Amino acid sequence: MLRLPKHAFRILFFLLTPLIGIAAGESPARLLIRDGLIVTMKPGETAPFTGYVLVGADGKIQSIGRGKAPASLTATVVVEAAGKFVCPGFISAHSHVFATGMRGLGASLTIRSWLGAWIPYIASSSDEDLYYYTLHGCLDFLQYGITSAYNFDYSGTTFTGYGGKPAELRPGDWDEQQIKGAVESGIRVVHSFALRRGGTEAENRAYVASVVKIGQRYAATHDNFLKLSIMGSTAYVSTPEVARQEGMALREFGLDNQSHFLEPPDNLEQRDRFPWFAEAGLLGTNLTFGHFIHTTPEIIRATGKAGAMMCWNPMSNGRLASGIADIPSILKAGIHVGMGVDDQCASDIPDPFENMRTGLYMIRARAEDATILSPYDVLRFHTLGSAQVMRVADRVGSLEPGKFGDLLIIDPRRRDVGPVHDPYATLVLACSQMNLEQVYVGGELKTQRGELVGVDFRRISDEVHRRVAAAIARSQPK
């Protein structure tokens, strides 16, 4: 009788395991990236390493490791990434993608007059227009490496006073169209919608329930629909009633809340509304403050103690002369920070590379201290940090087994940025969209060297140009 050494059985096991899977009808892995410089952004794993990433047929990362990929690992698509960075997809934790057709408007205006410059055009748009605006905006995000976004929808009552649609309570037609546009783009999205100002609690409860049904339908059929959230309006009303109703949405429907707060310097009366968040049961781990610029030490301290978070939008804040958020003090208070590109009308281009650099340089310049914030910090804010403030870090934000295979391949030699001495410095300080080689969502290729794959973007762009021109014409006084 032939006796095999013990190690021979181990070798046979590893050789036969892939064949057993194939025989059992398992789908092959979707994507294998080999020999790239892996930047995982996993907590505690700060040193990049040369290795591999395997994305399964379900679009989730199956394995990630150092060194050469084992010969047993196979996939439908194999990418050789030697000399290139492999990073998590960027995440915009604060976005209004319906504004994609309004770039450049109000170029020398601050936020209040700037809103009046373009909201009337959006208010003249149909629900189908909003579908195309959202689709176009999300595809634009993908071309800049943004694979997930928190999207504030256009819900006209939010902009009443700037030419917004009348306050009306109805099933969410515009919610449906904007969710549809985002989902069909291929990006992952948190869809955020506003309660109807002036509506009773019963009316808003029914409205929230109608949008929740839409969200449940999309979540059941599209894994890139992450969840619903409330677009908070507490800071923009004169009574705490909206805060109380937003508290209802949190308690009864489990919806978290991101509220624009203390953004422009000419709206400091919002500070007096800060207690309303606590009184309504909103100030806690389910609340994110967007912008959060003109704070006080007391507000920062209370926010950190409550476990609420914030989203930083440096390009938008600079463009609109809104100010510079006190990120060092915010971090010192233990507040999680994410980053957003806001929208294509406030930042004009949704470029995370520029957003990270703008934010980093703003903070260093104000502090006159080059050590106060690092390239690693801002890269974390625009990946895992944003996933945390969106409360989806169990699925996106870092390269870890079990999370979605949403990742970027960045080539520092495509537009040569020189030798790589510090990977994080090269990524944040020197790279740009021109170095963005490929964008994957769930292991599926979405862009190749800045061009969308499998999408007739020119047709969608033509639709947006035509529809925006028609909306502008309708908005003109007769």
Residue written as token pair 């934010």:
359
Ranges 95-104, 156-165, 322-331: which has the least confidence: 156-165
Comparing CA positions, the residue from 32, 134, 150, 69 lying closest to residue 407 is 32
Contact 152, 191 (CB under 8 A): no
pLDDT in tens, 60-113: 999 999 999 999 999 999 999 999 999 999 999 999 999 999 999 999 999 989
Tell me the pLDDT band of 10, cut-offs 50, 70 and 90: very low
Q: In this model, does residue 46 exceed pLDDT 60? A: yes
Q: Is the pLDDT of residue 273 over 50?
A: yes
pLDDT at site 158 = 66
Place of tokens 């495509």: 414
Mean pLDDT value of segment 357-371:
98
Per mean pLDDT, which range of 47-56, 96-105, 160-169, 198-207 is the poorest?
160-169
What is the full DSSP assignment across 319-358?
Answer: HTT-----HHHHHHTT--EEE--B-TTTTSS--HHHHHHH
Beta strands in 163-286 (DSSP E): 188-193, 225-232, 257-261
pLDDT mean over 443-465: 97
Tell me the backbone φ, ψ of residue 202, rounded to 5 degrees: -65, -45
d(CA 465, CA 472): 11
Residue 197 CB partners (closer than 8 Å, separation 6+): 157, 158, 160, 167, 233, 237, 242
From 15-19, 84-88, 300-304, the region with the lowest mean pLDDT: 15-19
164: pLDDT strictly greater than 90? no
At 449 the pLDDT is 96
Assign 4 a pLDDT band (cuts: 50, 70, 90). Answer: very low
Every domain range in the chain assigned CATH 3.20.20.140: 90-389
Q: Which of 75-89, 150-164, 428-442 has the lowest average pLDDT?
A: 150-164
Strands across the sheet containing 90-95: 90-95, 146-152, 188-193, 225-232, 257-261, 287-291, 309-312, 337-339
Count CB neighbours of 298 within 10 A: 10
The reported pLDDT for the residue numbered 330 is 98
Distances (CA, A) of 286 to 145, 307, 344, 398: 27, 8, 27, 21
- Which is nearest to 226 in space by CA: 130, 122, 95, 120? 95
Q: Which two tokens stand for residue 234?
A: 């507490």
Q: Which residues contact 186 (CB under 8 A, 6 or more apart)?
A: 138, 139, 142, 224, 441, 444, 446
Q: What is the pLDDT of residue 477?
A: 82
Q: Which residues have a Cβ under 8 Å from the Cβ of 445 and sit 6 or more positions away?
A: 77, 438, 439, 453
Question: Residues with Cβ < 8 Å from 263, sequence gap 6 or more?
Answer: 111, 290, 291, 293, 294, 317, 322
pLDDT of residue 120: 86
Residue 465, pLDDT > 60, answer yes
Contact 253, 214 (CB under 8 A): no
In 70-222, alpha helices (H): 111-123, 127-143, 173-185, 201-221
Tell me if 181 sits within 8 A of 381, measured CB to CB: no
Closest alpha carbon to 342 in 95, 62, 85: 95
Judged by average pLDDT, the poorest of 158-172, 209-223, 300-314 is: 158-172
Whole-number pLDDT of residue 428: 98
Q: What is the pLDDT of residues 107-144, one digit of tens each?
A: 999 998 999 888 888 888 988 999 999 999 999 999 99
Reply yes or no on whether the pLDDT at 11 is more than 60: no
pLDDT, residue 157, reads 64
Going by the DSSP 8-state scheme, the letter that residue 385 receives in this structure is I
- pLDDT above 90 for 155: no
- Residue 25's pLDDT is 59
Exposed / middle / buried, residue 290 (Cβ in 10 Å: 0-12, 13-18, 19+): buried
- What is the Cα–Cα distance from 398 to 220, expressed in whole angstroms? 24
Q: What is the pLDDT of residue 166?
A: 53
DSSP structure class, residue 68: S
Count of CB atoms situated within 10 Å of the CB of 270: 18
- pLDDT grade for 19, boundaries at 50, 70 and 90: very low
Note the pLDDT of residue 369. Answer: 98
Output the pLDDT for position 161: 63
Q: What topology does CATH give the domain 90-389?
A: TIM Barrel (3.20.20)
We find that the CATH architecture of domain 25-88+399-452 is Roll (2.30)
What is the model's pLDDT at position 121? 86
130: its two tokens: 């909003």
Determine the pLDDT at residue 17: 44
HSE-up (13 A, CA, CB side) for residue 416: 2
**Residue intervals in the chain for CATH 2.30.40.10:** 25-88+399-452
pTM of the model: 0.93
H or E segment to which residue 448 belongs: strand 444-448
pLDDT value for 1: 42
Q: What percent of the chain has pLDDT over 90?
A: 85
Is 431 strand, coil or helix?
coil
pLDDT in tens, 236-271: 999 999 999 999 999 999 999 999 999 999 999 999
Q: What band does 26 get if pLDDT is binned at 50, 70 and 90?
A: confident
Q: Are 315 and 358 in contact (CB under 8 A)?
A: yes
Whether the CB-CB separation of 94 and 342 falls below 8 Å is answered with yes
